[in-house]
Amino acid sequence: MPDRQILVQYAVDFPRLPDRKDIVCWASAGLQESRQDVELVVRIVDAAESEALNRQYRHKDGPTNVLSFPYDPIPGVGQAIRGDVVICAPVVEQEARSQGKTSDSHWAHIVIHGVLHLLGYDHQDDDQARIMEDHERRLLHGLGYADPY
């Protein structure tokens, strides 16, 4: 059984943030097919931190819902999946409202989406997007959430 170390950091004072146990549950769902050990940080941030990271690493202006930062394997430490998933609370909440979703269902989707990026999933073209979205649908359905698309 792989070792799962999921740390949740709250770096924002925002109303109605998901509980730590829910975030760990959603991240674990995203990892369920992985047989590797995992060291993962899910960091919940404000718009300013998200915007700064988005500008620095993606060269895009404005905050975004989720950013994933996989770590390169560390020589001699094994092949654990390591990385950070950074989620912007104000953006996720605004998206949930504008898309008519419950807060929990959208948070679950965004956490899973970020974790899947760490596992190598992407949506740069239509085929990749279809594969990633189908996987997200299956995982969310398994947690009792509706199709996010």
List, for residues 66-123, the tens digit of each pLDDT value. 999 998 776 776 667 789 999 999 999 999 999 999 999 999 999 999 999 999 999 9
Among the residue ranges 11-20, 28-37, 81-90, 132-141, the one predicted with the least confidence is: 28-37
d(CA 91, CA 124): 21
Spell out the residues 6+ positions from residue 89 whose beta carbon is closer than 8 angstroms to its own. Answer: 12, 14, 17, 44, 45, 46
Question: Do residues 141 and 129 make contact, with C-beta atoms less than 8 angstroms apart?
Answer: no
Among the residue ranges 48-52, 87-91, 128-132, the one predicted with the least confidence is: 128-132
Report percent pLDDT > 70 for the chain. Answer: 94
Q: How far apart are the first and last CA of the chain?
A: 32
Report percent pLDDT > 90 for the chain. Answer: 78
> Does the pLDDT of residue 2 top 80, yes or no?
no
> Does the pLDDT of residue 36 top 70, yes or no?
yes
> Does the pLDDT of residue 3 top 90, yes or no?
no
Which DSSP string corresponds to 106-132?
HHHHHHHHHHHHHTT---SSHHHHHHH
Structural domains in the chain? 4-142 (3.40.390.30)
d(CA 72, CA 66): 19
Quote the DSSP letter at residue 73.
P
